Amino acid sequence: MTVAPALAAVAAPRAPAAPTDVTPDEAARILMKSALFAPPPATLPDGRRDLVGLSRAELEAEMLAMGEKPFRARQLWHWIYHQGERDFAKMPTIARPLQQRLAERFAIGRPETSTEQLSKDGTRKWLFRFRDAQQVETVYIPDREEDRGAVCISTQVGCTLSCRFCHTGTQKLVRNLGAAEIVGQFMAARDTYSEWPSPKDGTPRHLSNIVVMGMGEPLYNYENVAKALTIVMDNEGIGLSRRRITLSTSGVVPMMDRCGAELNVGLAVSLHAVTDELRDVIVPLNRKYPIADLMAACRRYPNASNARRITFEYIMLDGVNDSEAEARELVRLLKGLPAKVNLIPFNPWPGSEYRTSKPEAIRRFAEILSAAGYASPIRRPRGRDILAACGQLKTESERVRRPAA
């Protein structure tokens, strides 16, 4: 373990840092930077364009460009996202000649499945490959008791951040995923479970929820993530409600307001430490957006009602962040905020430097939180045997050379 023991103790809270610059400029800077890692164009080698990932307006524009009426876009939207159909010839509401013209110009894509593994606990992991051969992992975590579960989707190949306990963090950011690649992970997972068409009557499916908690930091790829989630939430398509979607961030404060205002999906925040001294080390992004600023952004998040509590993720690292004093400090930080704390026992990966907290330490930590009125479930590790648990995802990739900005 390379974290100095002194850091493991709860240091006196640091004087509040100067408020981070949460100006539109700061958000614009993040968006500009993320554009440098843009995905390749959504065109197949044969020149056809992938319709998956286009917004409704973009799909309409494509129809108009073909001399078709706007309602065609609506029909296609239904076939693509409600029925999950990939073959234009199997869309009986569209006349044969138009089916043929569509098939000449367009495709309805999916990421290619490189490998698929099933854990003994029912968790399934896919390694998906995109047209430029880059790959990400996607995981389905079934609920043990009920016929439902969450698909954990990735948003970047690698990650720019390097949280000390995270396997993905050891992989440099190669590029952002495009909207098609993000929504495509969920669509391909649905293909595997034959869960098309989308339920109209709200009947739950096995793949009932989405957690944006796979590889990468979603708020460093905000525009593609927002576009993908808007498609997923569209009522005439996949129709997953925002209540069934949770986005996890390591704390990109300037983008949290926008995420709340535009998407208002469930928010999970990877807190993991209660002092800036420790968080600076294990979640280095904290040096930019310290705890006080992060908590302020959480308090601004819309609808932080009891039904829509913010989830705080707290990884349990033996002897590093798992003392009773830290649990009490966490209660103090959360005061007045409708919150729930997910205690995540650290999942080891090859070369990781930490150990999982002792069960007794986790239990005591949880007790202090629940005595203060915070739900504090201890997350059961899922899919560890196939390296599919939180923080274990990683793919082999080389960083492609980028032109200078």
Show contacts of 4-9: CB within 8 Å, 24+ apart: 5/319, 7/277, 7/278, 7/281, 7/320, 8/278, 8/319, 8/320, 8/321, 8/323, 9/323, 9/325
**N-term to C-term CA, the chain:** 37
- In the bound state with ligand SAH, the residue whose beta carbon lies nearer, of 208 and 270, is 270
Residue 161 lies near ligand SF4 (rule: CB under 6 A):
yes
- CB of 284 vs ligand SF4, minimal distance in Å: 9
Judge contact between 270 and 248, C-beta under 8 A: yes
Give the active site residue among 60, 62, 137, 326: 137
| Residue choice 34, 123, 250, 376 for contact with ligand SF4 (CB under 6 A) | 250
Q: Where are the beta strands (DSSP E) in 292-369?
A: 310-316, 339-345
Query: Helix, strand, or coil here: 307?
Result: helix
Task: From 84, 219, 78, select the one nearest 159 (Cα to Cα).
Answer: 219
Block residue for tokens 């997972």: 189
| Residue choice 39, 109, 149, 169 for contact with ligand SF4 (CB under 6 A) | 169
Q: Is 137 a catalytic residue?
A: yes
Binding positions for ligand SAH, rule: CB under 6 A: 163, 165-166, 213, 217, 248-250, 270, 313, 315, 344, 346-347, 390-391
313 binds, among ligand SAH, ligand SF4, none (CB under 5 to 8 A by kind): ligand SAH
- Which residues from 359-398 bind ligand SF4, rule CB under 6 A? none
CA distance linking residue 279 with residue 251, whole number of Å? 11
Residue 316 lies near ligand SF4 (rule: CB under 6 A):
no
- CB of 302 vs ligand SF4, minimal distance in Å: 23
Q: Is 390 a catalytic residue?
A: yes
Task: From 296, 306, 292, select the one nearest 373 (Cα to Cα).
Answer: 306
**Exposed, middle or buried, 20 (CB in 10 Å: 0-12/13-18/19+)?**
middle
Residue 137 lies near ligand SF4 (rule: CB under 6 A):
no
Taking contact as CB under 6 A, which single stretch among the options 159-167, 259-267, 336-344, 364-372 is the one that binds ligand SF4? Answer: 159-167
- In the bound state with ligand SF4, the residue whose beta carbon lies nearer, of 287 and 363, is 287
* Interaction pattern, residues 54-93, with ligand SF4; x per rule: CB under 6 A: ----------------------------------------
Query: Which positions are annotated as active-site residues?
Result: 137, 390
Binding region for ligand SF4 (CB under 6 A): 159, 161-163, 166, 168-169, 216-217, 250, 270
